Chain A
């Protein structure tokens, strides 16, 4: 991507002067334009996210070293407390704070407009921060070791629910600030035609977020009232049904957000164009329609839910959301391949991939994330989401094996990769320790691959998730897991520690660069925005899909993926067919 494409050519249109006090900075390194308030909001939300990641990462040490059977570090009560905090800090606070920064980036920065209602955006941040602190306080105070899911009738302290509700309201306001910013851009005519694909993906994430956060509020408010004695009881099955519309769907926000980041990084690192805007946007649209149904995955082993309901919902209505992910999984590397081939890397099937910038953590992070998300997270997710196969997986440690592949390898690693891009661009600092940063995606990503694999292995042998002691000490009728299960859990411990070291390097590089990195040039500041110049249509048309196979290497990779998917799918059916008959 050349910076020239960002520079306005014509005279500024009338009305380009925003409200007084609004300033726009054009980054000399990327050409991106940052509005002052939006920039501050992005920085504050992203930094808070990293702090939450740090807390969650420290807690991960306790979780991993306790589940490693040979170490078995923490006492049971501390373990469940630490596990509760680890889940919430990582899955909710780290990710959603970062996502708010991503939403502001995809609206205000990519559309080059001011952020709508900055005061409300600060209020949103304040509510989220107070909520996160309140919830963490409740957990660390003891008495709220109820896991992230907090299934009723097991009760936590009222402040546990209150914290989550405040956070949810804040996040909801942030979503509406994002939507408002889209309106500002449209009204001020900062761009022509349709929004960029990455912004389209962010809109998908925000729409899913509104559904998700509302579901969370709907079920957590009565539960909060129950905890202070106003409501007598909340039905346990209703709770599970609605809670998962929040719990699972919040992970779908991540999917839409990190896939948008993949497209963005393909554009930033390679100047890659989407192979077809129609296909990529259509796939995002499928997410909006079908992705939410997946909260049914958590109810497949539950009583009281009909078979038809399970089958339709768990399959995202005939797997249309899986189809969408398979499309993104092809079009993103495909776009990179096309861009690389245009640069002359045309030898064989994979020269484009061999000659990719593997030393650039922005690219390597995203690519490791993409492959891991597809092969490990995607395939295992479909297994668990198949109604009958769920019975050999439900609540085993296979489940965290799956979601560490989606949320850690997929989302977290993508956010880390994006951070390396943002350090010079948004934070205006030179990155310290570039050598460590180069290594980080490999150490973190590949150790997480292994971590997920051995967790799924242990889960296939039946080992439970959220379980303090696989030796069942003190149980009258203890069960003895096979030796292989102990071996797998030992490997979980080793891989987990390696991944935590990888995470620590990310925190060190990020925080260190912010504190000690060389300050970089601000770039020119103006009171006017510079609209995005229209792209000449004629030049771009040929860049869309061409006759023949434009990305043969990617197609081969996709077929390898499909083969692995099909084989593993039927292996699981074979396994299921050997267990007790159930009808």
Chain B
């Protein structure tokens, strides 16, 4: 009977399927499995998979590593705040600090070279949103996330913070260059 009344047959689970329903369930199931295979398959054949390499860290430790990189590879500074622009060698470890309310330092990479980009936050959650290519990664305090990145375009990129982090959240924008 009606959906707001008890089913008229006690053994409702024995009712035959209508052909419309049976056909649709089959098609939908095939599509669901295909989507599952696609996701797994992209890990094998695709070139955009998020690394899961993660370490526990703390602000002192991560700051020290970042400072060492800045001391070694700074090529110039930008803006009135003299933000260092760092040009590390291809394949090396690159550290990017997220903190209230900036990304530090500015990083200069080379096109088609792979880098180990280390991300963490010094305080709250932040969001690494690389524009205009549009790659978005969560940055969580206490966890050092190592992402292997291979820029495929050259130019100037911005790192927008897209996780709410307080009153000046909208001023938290960093920069990357790809040569």
Contacts and interface: CB of A to CB of B under 8 A. Distances in A.
B160 A279 contact: no
B4 A555 contact: no
B3 interface: yes
A264 interface: yes
A580 B165 CA distance: 26
B7 A462 contact: no
A323 B21 contact: no
A22 to B, nearest CB: 22
Contacts, number: 360
Contacts of A230: none
A236 B6 contact: no
A76 interface: yes
A565 interface: yes
Contacts of B140: 236-237, 240, 302-304
B10 A193 contact: yes
A474 B171 contact: yes
Contacts of A582: 47-51, 135, 147-150
A275 to B, nearest CB: 5
Interface in B6-30: 6-10, 12-21, 23-25, 27-29
A539 B35 CA distance: 42
B54 A303 contact: yes
A268 B136 contact: no
B93 interface: no
Nearest to A533: B5
Contact of B6 (A194, A301, A462): A194
Nearest to A546: B18
B103 to A, nearest CB: 8
A355 to B, nearest CB: 20
B66 to A, nearest CB: 17
B144 interface: yes
A364 interface: no
Contacts of A573: 38, 42
Interface string B159-178: 01111111111111111000
Contacts of A266: 3
Interface in A444-494: 460-462, 464-470, 472-479, 481-482
Interface string A277-291: 111110000000000
Interface residues of B, number: 97
Interface stretch (A91-99, A218-226, A389-397): A389-397
Given A193-B6, A394-B138, A558 B170 contact: no
Interface stretch (A114-122, A162-170, A324-332, A430-438): A324-332
A262 to B, nearest CB: 9
Contacts of A264: 3-4
A306 interface: yes
A579 B6 contact: no
B39 A315 contact: yes
Given A194-B6, A388-B50, A555-B23, A583 B148 contact: yes
Contact of B169 (A272, A468, A552, A577): A468
Contacts of A191: 6
Contacts of B7: 193-194, 196-197, 277
B2 A272 contact: yes
A334 B22 CA distance: 13
A110 interface: yes
B134 interface: yes
Contact of A541 (B9, B79, B149, B168): B9
A473 B33 CA distance: 46
A276 B127 contact: no
Contact of B134 (A392, A543, A550): A392
A467 B142 contact: no
A394 B36 CA distance: 20
A315 B49 contact: no
A192 B102 CA distance: 65
Nearest to B78: A477
Interface string B125-153: 10101111111111011111101111111
Interface string A559-583: 0001001100100010011111111
Given A80-B164, A304-B52, A279 B32 contact: no
B68 interface: no
Nearest to A535: B8
A470 B158 CA distance: 13
Contact of A579 (B48, B141, B161, B168): B48
Interface in A136-175: 147, 151, 153-154
Please provide the 9 A-B residue pairs with the shortest distance between their CB atoms, ordered closest to farther.
Answer: A545-B18, A581-B150, A303-B145, A479-B158, A540-B8, A319-B32, A464-B162, A535-B8, A277-B12
25 contacts: A1-B2, A197-B7, A236-B140, A281-B12, A303-B119, A303-B145, A304-B52, A319-B36, A323-B32, A386-B35, A391-B48, A391-B137, A392-B135, A394-B137, A462-B134, A467-B170, A534-B6, A543-B1, A545-B18, A573-B42, A577-B46, A580-B151, A581-B47, A582-B49, A582-B147
Given A276-B21, A467-B164, A477-B158, 7 more contacts: A264-B3, A267-B4, A271-B2, A275-B18, A302-B138, A326-B24, A477-B83
